[in-house]
Structure 1
Amino acid sequence: MEDTGYAFDDLKKFDDLKEMGYPSELIEALLRITKRDGEFQQEFAKQAGRHPVA
């Protein structure tokens, strides 16, 4: 999600994806692979690795 118009803090845009018909599991995976401001790379990698789709 980096370098796009979507950011973790803008959950409304993720709701837009749900309204467009994207499955909840995919949206959850996108949330897991979206690096948050101030998040260390190691924390980000752990978060992403905890989801089977991400």
Structure 2
Amino acid sequence: MSENKRVNVSLSNEQLEIIRKFKGTLGNTDSEIIRNITLAWLCEKNIITN
């Protein structure tokens, strides 16, 4: 069973506005959206396969 970890991320207001444009598409909270963008990027770069 995996254990969840918390990571602090600092974003500018402009970056946060971009993240929030994906609300409802990539997640419902800022953390869900950032997690899903990160995982999608890792998959695209073939760093992870699932």
TM-score computed with the length of structure 2 as normaliser: 0.33
> Scaled by the length of structure 1, what TM-score is found?
0.32
Which structure exhibits the higher relative contact order, with contacts defined as CA atoms closer than 8 Å and separated by 6 or more residues? 1
Larger Rg computed on CA atoms? 2
